[in-house]
Chains A and B, each alone.
Chain A
Amino acid sequence: DSGVTQTPKHLITATGQRVTLRCSPRSGDLSVYWYQQSLDQGLQFLIQYYNGEERAKGNILERFSAQQFPDLHSELNLSSLELGDSALYFCASSGTGFSYEQYFGPGTRLTVT
């Protein structure tokens, strides 16, 4: 158990809908990262937040947005869903100082039908 929690574990929804994925980082970690794992794109970095502020952006679609709240949990919002958005979405967290290791949550499996 990495200490990172993600809910829900599975999500099935229809095209055009909007969903919210939730992540709670390890206790004490200030950074939260979101990654997408799909069959055709592999594992891709989406976005990073540090202590509530966006710090880095990757290949995140404009239909996707994220935020990190004062209690450090993070939410990834996916809207106008398309079939191609079906993927495993991971959240990871890391601490401060000299430790750059990222610890991953169990992921949320999103299926768009």
Chain B
Amino acid sequence: AQTVTQSQPEMSVQEAETVTLSCTYDTSESNYYLFWYKQPPSRQMILVIRQEAYKQQNATENRFSVNFQKAAKSFSLKISDSQLGDTAMYFCAFMILRGATSGSRLTFGEGTQLTVNP
């Protein structure tokens, strides 16, 4: 079974600074995706960024980037120039590639509550 671990239940950062959220996972599969989702107080789940396991290049989306270490099974999220609107629960998620027709469930970590302070 696949597991995802987020060891930081809470983190805080000052506005405009950089913060890194940690995530580790455990799997024997070789083809998979990793995701970071953001859940603000509205409770909506918002996709932040994704990483394909076969790609060595780390994904970036504007102020969000990941550090993907496949051998270490580590997938951290870096948020640069933090903004007040980044305050949210952040979930790391894992998906085995079996194809959309065969079942592609997400396995989530416990989440990290990030607070951006003014």
Q: Which residue numbers of A lie inside 8 Å of B, CB to CB?
A: 2, 30-31, 33, 35, 42-45, 48, 50-51, 55-56, 58, 88, 90, 92, 94-97, 100-104, 106-107, 109
Contacts and interface: CB of A to CB of B under 8 A. Distances in A.
Interface of B: 33, 35, 37, 42-47, 50, 91, 95, 97, 100-108, 110-111
Given A43-B91, A48-B105, A31 B45 contact: no
Nearest to A44: B108
Sorted nearest first, the 6 A-B pairs with minimum C-beta distance are: A56-B103, A104-B45, A43-B108, A45-B105, A55-B103, A50-B101
Contacts, number: 68
A93 B34 CA distance: 17
Contacts of A88: 43
